[in-house]
Amino acid sequence: MRRSSSLTDSVYDAILSGVVDGRFPVGSRLPSELDLCENHSASRPVIREVLARLRAQGIVESRKGSGSYVLRRTGATVQMPEDVASMAEIEACYDFRISLEGECAYFAAQNRTQADVEAMKATFAGFCHALTENKRGGINDDFQFHLAIAEATHNAFFVSAFLTIKSRVHMAIDISRQLTATPLNVRRRTLVNEHRSVLDAIVAGNAAKARREMRRHVTNSKNRVFKGESH
């Protein structure tokens, strides 16, 4: 089972990379399922699972009796750091973050001190300022804001878990910046508003809303990478 899952991720990354780097241009037909099976030494169920994932993300569409066609190019070529294996790993990390950071926000709203509030506000201000520098500015500032929220839980396990995925979080933020086609001023406004909504809920001590806003923010971030959505 583990081998099948690993092969599915590998084939997914290979086809997605072909779309990203232009080997499979928008409007073009992907190789047939049989050809994909042969090219990747994979079974038909594996190929069909990969195509289903790409369809769900709006990257390809299947036309009955014709095959699968590329609907959109996700963006420029992405350089993956050595310690990040694949886009599938980034996707899995996002799913983990939705749960982890939602709970961080929840407990931060319950346990934050005035010192925590000041720290979160300071990192938020730094993040907002860094966004004005360039298209990919503010990556570390973004991470520091989320880390300040984890620290405001006063639970070392939340902080440790978040620090463990630091390189993945940095990479996911960078990928989002690389792939976005959203105008810079619109992207800045969206990011600032999402982060402010989380911060305001934590400062107000509204734990349920803080969880909800954080989960919404991280889900939107995931969608910006994998579905090309601008919100």
Comparing 72-86, 126-140, 152-166, the range with the smallest average pLDDT is 72-86
Residue pLDDT, tens place only, 11-28: 888 888 788 777 888 888
DSSP 29: B
Region 176-195 average pLDDT: 78
Distance of alpha carbon 196 from alpha carbon 199, whole angstroms: 5
Write the DSSP assignment of 154-186 as a string of letters. Answer: T-HHHHHHHHHTHHHHHHHHHHHHHH--S-HHH
Global confidence as pTM? 0.66
Q: Is residue 192 domain-resident?
A: yes
Residue range(s) defining the domain that contains residue 100: 87-226
Do the beta carbons of residue 95 and residue 84 sit within 8 Å? no
Do 14 and 62 belong to one domain?
yes
- Judgement on whether residues 92 and 198 belong to the same structural domain of the protein: yes
- pLDDT tens track for 29-44: 999 999 999 999 999 8
* Residues 15 and 116 grouped into a single domain: no
pLDDT at 77: 43
Closest CA to 86 of 15, 35, 2: 15
The DSSP call for residue 77 is: P
In this prediction, residue 81 carries a pLDDT of: 46
* Statement to judge: residues 37 and 100 lie in one domain: no
pLDDT at 3 over 50: no
Number of domains in the chain: 2
Whether residue 92 sits in one domain with residue 46: no
